[in-house]
Structure 1
Amino acid sequence: MMKILLYLFFAIFALKTTACSSDSAQEQIDVTEDDQPADGPAKVEVRNDGGNPRIYRNGMPYFVKGAAYNNFLDEVKNYGGNSIRTYSINEDTQAVLDSAQQHGITVCLGIWIKRETDGFDYNDAAAVEEQFKSIKADVLRFKDHPALLMWAIGNEADSRATNFKLYDAVGEISDMIHEVDPNHLTTTVLAGTKTDHIKEIMERAPSLDVLSINTYAPIINSHKKIKEVGWQKPYLITEWGPRGTWENPPATSWGGLLELTSTEKAEVYREVYNKHIIANANDGCAGAYVFLWGYQNHGEVATWYGLFTRKKHPLGTAHAMHYSWRGTFPSNRAPQVKGEDMLLNGLTADQSIKVKVGQENRASIKAVDFEGENLTYEWQVVKEGFVMAKDNHSMDVLPGIDGIFENNREQNVRFTMTQTGEYRLYAFVYDEKGNAASATIPFLVE
């Protein structure tokens, strides 16, 4: 009976969300996209449509439905996306561009520029010139690739920057790109909507075509601040998602962070996209790159942003982007889990759970599947703040601690910790189609 009631709750919630989002989905029908050119560069430009600056690609309006790329490029278009962004040029760049072309999406190609916070001095003319020459070589190498959409000069180079000569360098790079590559746009990516930095950009780097902002919780004010500072060109939100780990106050007695379940994150992604991205499509916003496509390799909490598991199981967050980009959910939905549905020793994640070395612990999770499919489970415990190696070939979804569970594939499990420290308990729920839900509990072992 409880399972039926939960199913009805989520079904009603989904209908309510769909109704609230229908207007934004309809807006996207008016955004025309072109096919990939077979070879040679696409012509990308900015045009002013009745007071609204837009990106055009090969003569057609191009609203960026983008993904900040880490893994699974082949899935972007399947979910309704049309572009990815990268962060630097490296040995993988050619392959990424070629794969994007093969899969019918574009690339905002990141050019990493050195940052003051990492020790680079923009008063050092010789070092700035050396960086300029290296970047020019990269631009000449990739400028004619048919998947290229624009060049992103730096990612959060403004972080802790005090020397605005940074933007002189950005402007010189932008000028150079326009000289050698007349077919593509230039942008620079800021860590937040810093009005003083935007003013300096407008003065020192006037050839930039697009302003790009990485923003999470403050996205609610980004559009207003961009407009108030006087930016007249298009802008992109180049990272966005749930409130950042740094934006969340510690929630346990030892300073642990509470992570939303994948279901709760999905609600955030849909709401942010509707209210702060597509809602401004006719007032300067040229689109956005959702963070993070694929799965995380590092971070204060390793699963905070990824839209898929490491084994390529789509989470509800990926399905939220399918809805945001396509206007419909996939035919088979990910399982649904709320924070109160996961318990450790009868307690929820916000109750500062402490256990003892050698103590038997019991955990459980409840989940609902829209299609009523049979569900399977996987549990893992990881050390808080762990880094997932890219070359890890574990058969499990996370490289958890071995030998602590009696059986980690049940809905209700038992485990015993052998060492003290801060840990995180993960539960993954899978339906018969390979869709997944996730939930976590931080806990302390004494």
Structure 2
Amino acid sequence: MKPCIVPCLLLVLLLAVGACEVQVTEPPQGRSTGQKVHIEKIAGHFTLSRNGQPFSIHGASGDPRYIRELARAGGNCLRVYDTLNLAQVLDTAHYYGIAIIADLPLPKSQHLSFYRDQAKVKGQMNAYRSFVDRHKDHPALLMWMLGNELDFPYKPNYTPFYRAYNDLLAMIKQVDGQHPVATALTNFQRRTITNIRLKIPDLDVLGINTFGLLKDLEQDMADFAWMWKGPYFVSEWSINGYWEVPKTAWGASIEDAGWKKKEELLSRFHQEMPVKDPRFLGSCLFYWGQKQELTATWFNTFTAGGQPTPLYEAYALLNKDTLPYLPAPQVAYMLVDGAGAAGHIMLNPGQAYTANIVFGIAPDTNVRADWSLRSEDWYNLELDTLVPVVSYDHLLNALDTMSIQFSAPAREGPYRLFATLSYPGSIATTLNTPIYVIE
């Protein structure tokens, strides 16, 4: 057997830093550091302080075009993923009373060719120096997010990445001493947190992007508090991700209907969010807006047409007593020729089929249904890469509000049948069923 060199070296490093505290401000009770936004630790409890007042993050992560709707739903913070038009985003957020967590995107640590290129690293540093200096005094800014879901490896050949990251972190703190700096991790990872603790000791706070594993987060952080003693917040959370749900025989993830998403989100927050943890600073729901992520509806709080979905409804109910919209139609599920998604629906090309919607409560006569048949973007038999989503709506023939007839596409492969239903002025509920056309 080879000698266990790396673990032993890691143990020595851990013992060397074990007695150190993560660097956060710890002013005495009643004193202010003078920062616009800072993290206080008093009697073992971490608090995000904004302009001298405690600030708990009740936010979302996503599209700044929906800032007004975030305020209507009772949110107080939006995390934005890029630097595009940040000045306008900050102005709009300030108008609606929303704080902004601003991401500063970075190349993944695996892109060592970038981090070994001093000209590129210097260019990134200069660009972000100017950017941070330009926006640091805006009253809507809450904190900087330096990288999203970067990997933080242990191996020594990643030294150029760590050097560049620490230089950027030091620059932000030198240019803007008024706002904390965080980074967002994929789930709780001991290895990643250990490497951050050892190699990036000046980071102020951790963001954790987690979905189905949210239930374990509080205990995981408590068990690892000897390594990371500092504060954290949940920078992305929602219903189970498409990687965490049952799949069809051909590997298509089965997406819940809107009402079930609403129930799951409410239950997850009340039962799993670590709100009693003294190191917990708050959470941001994912995804505020609409984006294609496996499907066009999975995490979205809005449809492509801008209508709020049951996930928006659940989020608003977490923050407020009343909804700004009428509730969504009570849709239960969709059937294709009498079978649900768990029935692994396989169809013959060109053949006619019927799909119908089953309601939990009979709908009013003014309910509207929009149907769509689309290819999947996650599946490519030859290349195993994403492919453009193609619409096959020309194959649909509406029968009535609750049913539709369609012809299966001629080309073999995976597809998905979508339905979006709403009343005038109501939240729109979504549901879909994956199908496979086989020759």
Shared fold, TM over 0.5 = yes
1:106 corresponds to which residue? 99
Between the aligned partners of 2:205 and 2:138, the Cα distance in structure 1 is 20
Secondary structure of 1:141 counterpart: helix
1:184 CA drift (Å): 0.9
1:147 is the counterpart of 2:137: no
Residue 372 of structure 1, CA deviation: 6.2
1:381 alignment partner, one of 373, 397, 405 = 373
Instruction: Measure how far apart 1:77 and its partner are.
Output: 0.7
- C-alpha distance in structure 2 between counterparts of 1:422 and 1:229, whole Å: 43
My pick for the range that moved more, 206-215 or 400-409, is 400-409
Matched residue type, 1:334:
A
Q: Which secondary structure does the structure 2 equivalent of 1:245 belong to?
A: coil
Output one character per residue of 1:299-356: Cα deviation in whole Å (capped at 9) or x when no partner. Answer: 2222111011111211111110011122555563222333xx3111111111111112
Determine which of 282, 285, 293 is the counterpart of 1:287.
282
1:260 partner SS: coil
Unaligned runs of 5+ in 2: 1-33, 380-388
- Cα deviation, 1:6-46, whole Å, max 9, x if unaligned, reads xxxxxxxxxxxxxxxxxxxxxxxxxxxxxxxxxxx981011
- The question of whether the paired residues in 1 share the 8 Å contact of 2:415 and 2:435 is answered with yes
Task: Supply the distance in 1 between the matched residues of 2:338 and 2:153 (Cα, whole angstroms).
Answer: 44
Structure 1 segments unaligned to the other structure (5+ residues): 1-40, 388-397
Identify which of 68, 74, 78 aligns with 1:80: 74
Aligned to 1:12: none
**C-alpha separation in 2, matches of 1:73 and 1:409:** 36
CA distance in 2, matches of 1:354, 1:206: 54
* 1:134 corresponds to 2:127: yes
Please tell me the residue identity of whatever aligns with 2:90.
L
Tell me how many residue pairs correspond in the alignment.
390
Partner deviation per Cα, 1:258-308 (whole Å, 9 max, x = no partner): 00111111122112222232x424421111111100111x32222111011
Q: Is the 8 A contact 1:193 1:213 kept in 2?
A: yes
Alignment partner, residue 407 of structure 1:
398
Deviation digits for residues 40-64 of structure 1, max 9, x if unmatched? x981011124311010101111111
Residues 239 and 289, structure 1, Cα contact 8 Å, conserved in 2: yes
The CA distance in 1 between the partners of 2:153 and 2:196, in whole Å, is 16
Measured against aligned partners, the alpha-carbon deviations of 1:87-117 in whole angstroms (never above 9, x if no partner) come to: 2223x22221222112210110000111133
| TM-aligned CA distance change 1:274 to 1:253, over 3 Å | same
Displacement, 1:244?
1.7
After superposition, the CA RMSD in angstroms is: 2.6
Contact 2:100 2:142 in 1 (8 A): yes
> Relative to structure 1, is the Cα distance of residues 124 and 228 closer, same or farther in structure 2, using a 3 angstrom cutoff?
farther
- How far did 1:223 drift? 2.1
Contact between 1:307 and 1:318, CA under 8 Å: does it hold in 2? yes
- From 169, 183, 195, the equivalent of 1:174 is 169
Instruction: Specify the code of the residue in structure 2 equivalent to 1:74.
Output: R
One-letter identity of the residue aligned with 2:437: V
Residues 50, 323 of structure 1: CA spacing in aligned structure 2 closer, same or farther, 3 A cutoff? farther
The reply to whether residue 224 of structure 1 matches residue 216 of structure 2 is no
| Contact in 2 for aligned 1:429/1:438 (Cα 8 Å) | yes
Give the residue type in structure 2 aligned to 1:366.
Answer: V
Q: Which moved more, 1:345-354 or 1:371-380?
A: 371-380
Pair 1:157-2:150 in alignment:
yes
Alpha carbons of 1:82 and 1:349: their partners in 2 closer, same or farther (altered >3 Å)?
same
Q: Distance in 2 between matches of 1:154 and 1:263?
A: 34
Counterparts of 1:137 and 1:266, CA distance in 2? 42
Between the aligned residues of both structures, percent identity stands at 29
The aligned residue for residue 349 of structure 1 is: 341
Write the mapping of 1:4-43 to structure 2, written as runs, cut at 5 A.
Answer: 43=36
- TM-score (norm. length: structure 1): 0.80
The answer to whether 1:66 aligns with 2:65 is no
